Structures are given as structure tokens and as C-alpha cells.
A and B are shown apart, each in its own frame.
Chain A
Amino acid sequence: MHKLIVNEWIKIFKRPGTFVMIGLLILGVIATGVLTKVYSNNKQTANHQWEQQVEQEIKQYQQQISELPATAVSVKKDLEKKVAIDQYRLDHKIPPAKEATGWTFIKDSSALISFAGLFTIIIAAGIVASEFSWGTVKLLLIRPIKRYKILLSKYMTVILFDLFMLAVLFVSAAIIGFSLFGTGDGNNVHLAYSNGNVVEQNMFLYLIKTYLLSSIDVIMITTMAFMISAVFRNSSMAIGLSIFLLFMGGTITSLISSRYDWAKYILFANTDLTQYFDGVPLVKEMTLGFSVFMLLIYFFVFQLLAFGVFTKRDVAA
């Protein structure tokens, strides 16, 4: 099996397009870094007054909460979270990181995960469909290897590529973050809010977790792109549909969720697992278990379609 993955890996990295993708990703990180550097210069504040500022913030938030209409549940919850975290800061004397540090930059760079996801989707959409459009699928499938193994190796290559892109993003964000903003004052603690409690977390672990959790939707959409690629042998369709859903899926789902409860069954309502660790769920009765279960269902449906069609298909033309 690992030899098949080596094969796929070579096929990906012998094409110049792949390096363009990696280059663009790194360029994105550099651009974010430079922009953050330019803007953060204006916002420097003296650190010793932070307690007053935080108290002021809490008052502001509380006022906002009292003025909110009863329907704005999610906004209220978000504000409550901010109040809780600020209160925790006061109680434990942890000043907020006003200045950008390498750590916050890595966290901010997690916004680029969709960008990395975009490239992974392009790879996933092409990995099966291209073999058909190149005509190489004929020589690929007359090897003494069962078809499901070939497809599995392709899927695993896609996942590996996704992890690779994440690593590129993380490492380049770390390099650029620490070189532009330094490591901060050694205050490497992240304050997370869940179930009404504030918890301290190690920054590095928190970042790794954020990256992995944020890439769940990328992996799900990548799986979908892979499925479309295997079923319809059409890479442009796979790319188009998946990228549309990657960028619009979340928005559409939250629109629907403001009106209907069944929004919780939509894939994108469940892809963001950070909502359970560090925030407020989209629909009230959703739990982590529910989301994981829904994700697994979607995952297996995609895989069943991909493997079912690919292993049975007659290769003509």
C-alpha cells in the first residue's frame, strides 16, 4: 500500500502546479504577516493599565447584553463568553495579549486553512478524474492490485496532502510570526470558554488543536470532491461544486439555522467542531456527539459512493 501512496505522491509533486499552490500559500502567510505588522503599530497601548480597560470592557458587554432583543441568542452567548473570559483575566491577573505575538499570528493564520483546503480540493478533484482524462487509468487498473486498494491509496494521498499543506501553513506562519512579532512575553496561555467555565490551555497544544479542528470541514469537503471525482470522472465539476460549498456552505447553513431546526443535519452545521470547545453551537440542542455522528454518516456516504462506483465501473474509451 505504501508504494501506491509513493506513486500518487510522485504524480502530485512532479507537476509544477503543486509548487505554485505551495508558493501561493506561503505568499498568503507572508502577506497576512506584513499587513498585521503594519496595522498593529498603531494599536500599541501601555500594559499597566490593562485592568481598568478590561473592567471597562466588561461593563460595555454587560450593557450590550441587557439591550439585546430576546431573539439574538447567539450574540448574547458570544458576549457572555467575552465577559467570562475578561472576568477570569481580572481574577487571575492574566493581561490580554494586545500586541500581536508569534502565537497570535499562528492563530490568526488559521483563517488561511480554507486557502490550504482549496488546494487540497483541487488535488482531490483531479486525483481520480485526471487518470481518466489522461487515459492512464487503463494501464493503472491492469495491475495485479484490486481497485479498492488503488482508490484507497489515492484517498490517503489526498489526506496526507491536506496534512502536508496544514504543516506548511503552520510552519510558515510560525517562522513569519516569530520573526515579525517575537514570542511575546512568554505568556503562552489560551483562555477557552466552554459550558460556562473558563479553562486555561497550553498555547501550542491549543494551536495544534485549532488547526486540526478547523481542517475538519476541509477534510469533509475534500472527501466530497474526491467522491465526485471518482463517481463522475469530472474534475472541473468536483472543483467547482466543492469550492462553492467550502466558501458558501457555512454562510448558507447559518442563514437556514436562524429559521429552521433541521439545519443541524446539514454537513456544514457540523464541520466546525470548535463551536463545542470554544464557543456556542449553531443550533441549541446540538452536541459534540451529534456532530461527530453526523460527520461520520456523511463521510461514509461519500466513501460508499466513491468506492461503490469506482470498483464496479466498466472502463470504456
Chain B
Amino acid sequence: MSSPVVELKKVSKVIKGKKIIDDLSFAIEEGEVFGFLGPNGAGKTTTIRMMVGLMGITSGDILICGKSVEKEFEEAIRNIGGIVENPELYKFLTGYQNLMQYARMVKGVSKQKIEEVVEFVGLKDRIHDKVKTYSLGMRQRLGLAQSLLHDPKVMILDEPTNGLDPAGIREIRDHLKKLTKEKGMSVIVSSHLLSEMEMMCDRIAIIQNGKLIDIQKVHDEQESKQKYFFEVDMKNIAILKNRGISYEKVDNGIAIEMEKEEVPNMIQLLIEKGIRIFEVKPISKSLEDRFLEVTTQGEKLHA
């Protein structure tokens, strides 16, 4: 695969002697939606602000399309479109005038491009109204529009769904999907809402206390092996051991790791051996389980 779009290299941030971000390293590939998950105060916002250059980096470096945010700020930031928390726009200007403000700050944004972006976020009817008359959802859409003006390679969104109603959240999600599919953009989203992230992201990094705890793919089903739960009569279960099948005992049954194709064979085997089966199901941990699992582990480490 091509070189990563965004790369964090041993990034640390110290504020007033406190280490807020500790040695964070990861990379984001082209066209993926990368989630950034962690409890409040874990350092999500700080990390994102370092990526967009709002905060300085104490040590380490962040590369955007191969350019350092610290040393080649203008070249690096050119590839980024961002919304940091709720987009605060100039309320005394109209939506269009706001977009013009941002369009003047980058080279080569045509009038046509502005219209196109306005159309994309569905603000065409209200774009010439003052922003102070907008609802939160509309401001969010205008925020999205300003970040798209210069066709960035990466979209960075900090808590984009904060304060939105379910319809608004869904809208943002649909927009992001469209962007990654149609324009091949990478998206970095931070949130503490698990369900949200699960629906939006391809990969999720979990951070806590400024440390990277885990990076996980969201859709694990594609992976060949998975655990299956068999609710069975435990009486003759030892037979499996003789056949060299490893299993672990859980409540009311056993859990075995295997490929999907093998499941019917296993059921047949169990029946042949006279083991009664009550239920068979794949054990798919929800992201929440995993999140809680890793973060509580982390907590124990820090306790």
C-alpha cells in the first residue's frame, strides 16, 4: 500500500509539567475512516489539535502526506480539512460570506467549487442567510463545507456529533461515507460515543491517559477464525479432548475457535458423539466490550 496519509511518530505533549500525550505512534492509510476513541480527558482533542497545528508538539513529529506539521506547516496543512468541535463561524456573516473568508485563504478555490460544496452539504437554500439564524445542524453542515473547499486528502473531525440529534448524526455519517467512497479521502474522527464509532469507522485507536492502548479493525467478521459458543450437555465433553480439539469451558457450554466452514462439521461430530446441542452462535464482542476491556485493563495498570 502507498505511504500513510497521516503518520504520528513518537508524539508526546507536555503541558505544565504534565504529560498529556505519551509516545503516541500510529499511521492512517488512504481512504480509511479512522476512529479515535477514549474516555473524556484521554487526550483525543489534544492529539487532534497537534495534527492540525493548533497545538505545538513537545517531542516527536506528525507527518501529513509526508510533510511535517511543525517544520512545513503550510505544505502539511494544505492537505487537511478540519472541524474542531462545534464549528464556530462568523455569526454576523452569511454562510456564503463565511465560505468566502476561507476560500480567500487557500489558493485556487473557484466560485464553482464553492457552489459545488454548498450543494454537497445541502445548504443551497439558506447559504445567503446570516449564520446566526442557522440551527446547530446547519452550522455543522457549513462547517463541513468550509473544510471541503480545498479538496483535502484528510478530513479531521473532533467530536463532530457533539450536540447533534440522531438525524444530524446520521447526516454527518452519510456525508463522511460519501466522501471516502467518492473522493478517496481519509477521515479521522474522534469521539467518546462507541456506537457512533462502530458505525462510522474502519479502524479504531483506543487511547487512555495519553497512551495508545490498542488499534482494532471494526469489522472482524472478515477474519477467518472466530470463536463460537456451543451450549451443550457437558457430560461427554471430554471426548473432544481425545480428538485433539482445544476448547475452553464457559458457562453452560464451551467456546471453540474455528473457521465458519468448520461449524457444520463440528455440530455433526458433537451429535455423533451423543452430545446434546442447545445453541450455537458466534461470539462477536461488541466494540463496547472491547473498549471497556482494554480501558479497564489500562486502569488497572495505572492503579
- Residues of chain A touching chain B, judged by Cβ–Cβ distance below 8 Å, are 3-4, 6-7, 10-11, 14-15, 134-136, 138-139, 141-146, 312, 314-316
Report if A142-B56 is in contact (Cβ < 8 Å); known contacts: A7-B104, A14-B97, A15-B92. no
Q: Assess the A139–B146 pair: CB atoms within 8 A.
A: yes
Complex: how many Å from CA A212 to CA B238? 100
Complex: how many Å from CA A143 to CA B150? 10
Q: Assess the B54–A141 pair: CB atoms within 8 A.
A: yes
In the complex, identify which listed stretch (B76-84, B191-199, B227-235) lies at the interface while the others stay far away. Answer: B76-84
Report if A138-B84 is in contact (Cβ < 8 Å); known contacts: A314-B54, A316-B55. yes
- Residues of chain B touching chain A, judged by Cβ–Cβ distance below 8 Å, are 15, 49, 52-56, 73-75, 77-78, 80, 82-93, 97, 101-102, 104-106, 143, 146, 150
In the complex, what's the smallest C-beta–C-beta distance from A175 to chain B, in angstroms?
30
Can you list 9 A-B pairs with a CB-CB distance of less than 8 A? A7-B101, A10-B101, A14-B97, A134-B91, A136-B90, A141-B53, A142-B52, A142-B54, A316-B55
Q: Assess the A315–B55 pair: CB atoms within 8 A.
A: yes
Q: Assess the B53–A312 pair: CB atoms within 8 A.
A: no
Cβ contact of B105, chosen from A14, A143, A315, cutoff 8 A: A143
Q: Assess the B88–A134 pair: CB atoms within 8 A.
A: yes
In the bound complex, residues from chain B placing their C-beta under 8 Å from that of A4 are 104-105
In the bound complex, residues from chain A placing their C-beta under 8 Å from that of B143 are 139
In the complex, what's the smallest C-beta–C-beta distance from A120 to chain B, in angstroms?
20
Q: Assess the A139–B54 pair: CB atoms within 8 A.
A: no
In the bound complex, residues from chain A placing their C-beta under 8 Å from that of B82 are 139, 142
Complex: how many Å from CA A7 to CA B104? 8
In the bound complex, residues from chain A placing their C-beta under 8 Å from that of B84 are 138-139, 142
In the bound complex, residues from chain A placing their C-beta under 8 Å from that of B146 are 139
In the bound complex, residues from chain A placing their C-beta under 8 Å from that of B75 are 144
Q: Assess the A144–B74 pair: CB atoms within 8 A.
A: yes
Cβ contact of B77, chosen from A7, A142, A312, cutoff 8 A: A142
In the bound complex, residues from chain A placing their C-beta under 8 Å from that of B97 are 10, 14
Q: Assess the B89–A136 pair: CB atoms within 8 A.
A: yes
In the bound complex, residues from chain B placing their C-beta under 8 Å from that of A6 are 104
In the complex, what's the smallest C-beta–C-beta distance from B35 to chain A, in angstroms?
20
Q: Assess the A139–B74 pair: CB atoms within 8 A.
A: no
In the bound complex, residues from chain B placing their C-beta under 8 Å from that of A139 are 82-84, 87-89, 102, 143, 146
In the complex, what's the smallest C-beta–C-beta distance from B140 to chain A, in angstroms?
13
In the bound complex, residues from chain B placing their C-beta under 8 Å from that of A15 are 92
Q: Assess the A144–B106 pair: CB atoms within 8 A.
A: yes
Q: Assess the A3–B104 pair: CB atoms within 8 A.
A: yes
Query: Which residue of A has the minimal Cβ distance to B85?
Result: A138
Query: Which residue of A has the minimal Cβ distance to B89?
Result: A136
Report if A145-B88 is in contact (Cβ < 8 Å); known contacts: A138-B54, A315-B54. no
Complex: how many Å from CA A38 to CA B74? 61
A-B pairs with the 9 shortest C-beta distances? A135-B88, A144-B78, A315-B54, A314-B55, A3-B104, A143-B105, A144-B77, A144-B74, A138-B84
Report if A145-B15 is in contact (Cβ < 8 Å); known contacts: A14-B93, A136-B90. no
In the complex, what's the smallest C-beta–C-beta distance from B68 to chain A, in angstroms?
14
Given pairs A142-B52, A145-B105, 9 additional interface contacts (CB within 8 A): A3-B104, A7-B104, A10-B97, A11-B93, A136-B89, A142-B54, A142-B82, A144-B75, A146-B74
Q: Assess the A312–B56 pair: CB atoms within 8 A.
A: yes
Cβ contact of B15, chosen from A14, A142, A314, cutoff 8 A: A314
In the complex, what's the smallest C-beta–C-beta distance from B21 to chain A, in angstroms?
12
In the bound complex, residues from chain B placing their C-beta under 8 Å from that of A138 are 54, 84-85, 88
Q: Assess the A14–B74 pair: CB atoms within 8 A.
A: no
In the bound complex, residues from chain B placing their C-beta under 8 Å from that of A142 are 52-54, 77, 80, 82, 84
In the bound complex, residues from chain B placing their C-beta under 8 Å from that of A7 are 101, 104-105
In the complex, what's the smallest C-beta–C-beta distance from B179 to chain A, in angstroms?
17
Complex: how many Å from CA A6 to CA B80? 23
Cβ contact of B56, chosen from A134, A143, A314, cutoff 8 A: A314
Q: Assess the A3–B53 pair: CB atoms within 8 A.
A: no
Complex: how many Å from CA A87 to CA B77? 69
In the bound complex, residues from chain B placing their C-beta under 8 Å from that of A141 are 53-54
Cβ contact of A146, chosen from B73, B83, B86, B102, cutoff 8 A: B73
Query: Which residue of B has the minimal Cβ distance to A141?
Result: B54
Query: Which residue of A has the minimal Cβ distance to B146?
Result: A139
Complex: how many Å from CA A281 to CA B156? 59
In the bound complex, residues from chain B placing their C-beta under 8 Å from that of A146 are 73-74
In the complex, what's the smallest C-beta–C-beta distance from A142 to chain B, in angstroms?
5
In the complex, what's the smallest C-beta–C-beta distance from A205 to chain B, in angstroms?
38
In the complex, what's the smallest C-beta–C-beta distance from A4 to chain B, in angstroms?
7
In the complex, what's the smallest C-beta–C-beta distance from B46 to chain A, in angstroms?
8
In the complex, what's the smallest C-beta–C-beta distance from A98 to chain B, in angstroms?
50
Q: Assess the B87–A316 pair: CB atoms within 8 A.
A: no
In the bound complex, residues from chain B placing their C-beta under 8 Å from that of A14 are 90, 92-93, 97
In the bound complex, residues from chain B placing their C-beta under 8 Å from that of A135 are 86, 88
Complex: how many Å from CA A315 to CA B56? 9
Complex: how many Å from CA A230 to CA B77? 23
Complex: how many Å from CA A14 to CA B15? 38
In the bound complex, residues from chain A placing their C-beta under 8 Å from that of B53 are 141-142
